[in-house]
Amino acid sequence: MLQRIQTVYLFLVFVFAILFVMLPIANLVPEDPFVSLQLSKYPVFFDAHEGLTGRWMALLLVILFFMAILLTIATSFYYRKRLVQIKLGKYNMLIHAAMILVSFFMIDSIRTQLEQYEVSYGPGLFFPIISLLFILLANRAIRKDENLVRAADRIR
């Protein structure tokens, strides 16, 4: 249902996941046409820097991104099954944590391979962390609704 606060939280998770893909997750300081690593354009980045390994990590991030998007959408449509929503939220938190870990490992790998560049974190890297917090808030609100329904059932 759209009037529930957890749906708003899940919508924000969806928006931040899209921003994670669109904004750069790493920036390289010497300016050239391919200075930023964006997940939506990762093949261009790896083709521009030949001999750079770690393309599989970027592909894994894309797969995790699509899993996170699908879980977020599925979670918002299971509004009548709150316990399933909570489980899907936990899986979504696990996927977001994996996205964060793989992102940091990929950037660290790029940093060690491209020593002539100074690699810094981009703004897109922090969106999975924010999404993780909103998933936690959504699960908390879902659990609160479940407790309210159980209390009402006890009274009957």
The DSSP letter of residue 115 is T
Contact in structure between 147 and 12 (CB atoms under 8 Å)? no
Q: Supply the pLDDT for residue 16.
A: 94
Lowest mean pLDDT among 45-49, 94-98, 137-141: 45-49
Strand (E) positions, 22-149? 24-28, 36-38, 119-121
Q: What is the pLDDT of residue 95?
A: 95
φ/ψ of residue 37, rounded to 5: -100, 105
Q: Look at residue 79 in the predicted model and tell me its pLDDT.
A: 81
Average pLDDT, the chain: 85
> In this prediction, what percent of the chain has a pLDDT beyond 70?
92
pLDDT digits (tens, 9 = 90+) for 38-87: 877 778 777 777 777 888 888 899 999 999 999 999 988 888 888 899 99
Provide the whole-model pTM: 0.86
Token reading at 69: 């998007």
